[in-house]
Amino acid sequence: MKDRLMLLLYIASVLMLTSVHDLLFLSFFLLSLFLISGKDLLSLLRKSFISVVFFNFAVSISYIIFGLLKGQEWLSYVVLLNLRVFSLTFLTFLFVSKINFFKAVSFSKTLQYLLTISYSQITAYTKSFEDFRLSLKSRLIQRPDRKDVYTFISRVFSYFFKKSVENSKEISQAMRSRGFFID
């Protein structure tokens, strides 16, 4: 029951964070999340920052350049965007660390089934990526140069993309055979 309540609270918080445009309120909400996180604060801050830094940087620079070229005010929007994205990311990491997803969706067999499929895919991809990483490490005597790293990343990305397309077809067929899609 606690996990379901937390799921509802999370959904309500996401809706609120995406609809409120007040910087003071968003700042207060983020500060409240920091207090709730307790001893996990530094870990969650680190995860959140790493997750959003490249996206936020690219989007912020785009808005700054666009604002300067058009002669429009850009600072408040860039601050709002970055605060909102960071708050949503921090909230999500906090939520994931505090609840059991399987208990949270236990009220619906369909959601449990979809969560099980998603979780198994995440686990399989995580294991595959770790295997790829260890295989690269075991085949090199010295640290790989930049070209080797880019080649490795592009090939692993290509593998995961192809695997995702294949898996999505299989999962879709399996779900269709079990009555998930009513045509």
pLDDT tens by residue, 59-90: 999 889 988 888 888 898 899 999 999 999 99
Contacts of 154 (CB under 8 A, 6+ apart): none
Between helix 75-98 and helix 23-37 the angle, nearest 10°, is 30
- What local confidence, expressed as pLDDT, does residue 181 receive? 64
pLDDT tens by residue, 136-149: 888 877 887 888 88
Residues 30/87, Cβ–Cβ less than 8 Å? yes
* Residue count of the chain: 183
Residues of the chain with pLDDT below 50 are none
- What local confidence, expressed as pLDDT, does residue 182 receive? 63
- What local confidence, expressed as pLDDT, does residue 170 receive? 84
Distance CA 113, CA 174 (A): 12
- What local confidence, expressed as pLDDT, does residue 2 receive? 87
- Which DSSP symbol is given to 41? H
Count of other CB atoms within 10 angstroms of residue 37: 19
